Amino acid sequence: MTWIDVVAVGTLVVWAAIAWWLTRRWVEGRATAEQFVVAGRRVPLGIGAASLLAAWTWSFTITTPAQNGYDFGIAGPIYYSIGGGLMLIVFTPIVSRIRRLAPDGRTLPDFIARRHGEAGRYVISALNMLSAGVLLFLNLNVVGLLFERFTSIGYQTGVALTCCLVLAYVLLSGMATSILTDCAQYVLISVAALLIVPALVINSDGVALLARASAGWGEKASLLSPTAFLKLGLPFLLMSWFSAFAYPSLWQYAWALKGDDARRAYLRAGLGWIPYGFAFGTLGVLGLAMGLQTEASSGIAFDTMARGLGVGWTGLFAALVLSAAASSCDGSISAFGALFMTDVYRAHLAPDATDPQTVRAGRVAMCLFALGMGALAMLKVNFMQAVFFLGAAKGAMLAPLLLTLWWRRLTPAGFVAGVGGGMVLGAMLFVGLRKAGVEHYELISIPVSAALGAGLAIAVSLAGRKSAADTAVEEQFGVAKVREA
Burial 443-457 (b: 16+ CB within 10 A, else e): bebbbbbbbbbbbbb
Task: Give the residue from 271, 239, 235, 325 showing the smallest Cα distance to 88.
Answer: 271
Structural domains of the chain sorted by starting position, each given as residue range(s) with its CATH number in brackets = 3-381 (1.20.1730.10), 383-485 (no CATH)
CB 270 within 8 A of CB 88: yes
In DSSP notation, 194-263 reads IIIHHHHHHHTTHHHHHHHHGGG-GGGG-TT-HHHIIIIIHHHHHHHHHHHHT-HHHHHHHHHB-TTHHH
Among 421, 415, 423, residue whose Cα is nearest residue 470:
415
- The span from the CA of 261 to the CA of 401, in Å, is 22
Give this prediction's pTM: 0.86
Measured CA to CA, the distance from residue 68 to residue 154 in angstroms comes to 28
Contact 359, 36 (CB under 8 A): yes
SS3 label, residue 43: strand
Q: What is the full per-residue pLDDT of the chain (485 aa) written as tens digits? A: 677 788 888 888 888 888 888 888 877 666 788 888 888 888 888 898 998 888 888 777 778 888 888 888 888 889 888 888 888 888 888 888 988 888 888 899 999 998 888 888 998 998 889 888 888 888 888 888 888 877 888 889 989 999 999 998 999 888 888 898 888 888 888 888 888 888 888 888 888 888 888 888 888 888 888 888 887 777 777 777 777 777 888 888 889 988 778 888 999 999 998 998 888 889 889 988 888 887 666 678 888 888 888 777 777 777 888 888 888 888 899 999 999 999 999 998 999 998 889 999 999 999 999 999 998 888 866 555 556 666 666 778 888 999 998 888 898 999 999 988 888 888 788 788 878 888 777 677 778 888 999 999 999 999 876 655 556 555 555 544 444 33
Specify whether the CB–CB gap between 403 and 254 falls below 8 A. Answer: no
- Specify the 3-state DSSP secondary structure of 474: helix
Q: Which amino acid is at 389?
A: F
Closest CA to 189 of 7, 88, 321, 354: 321
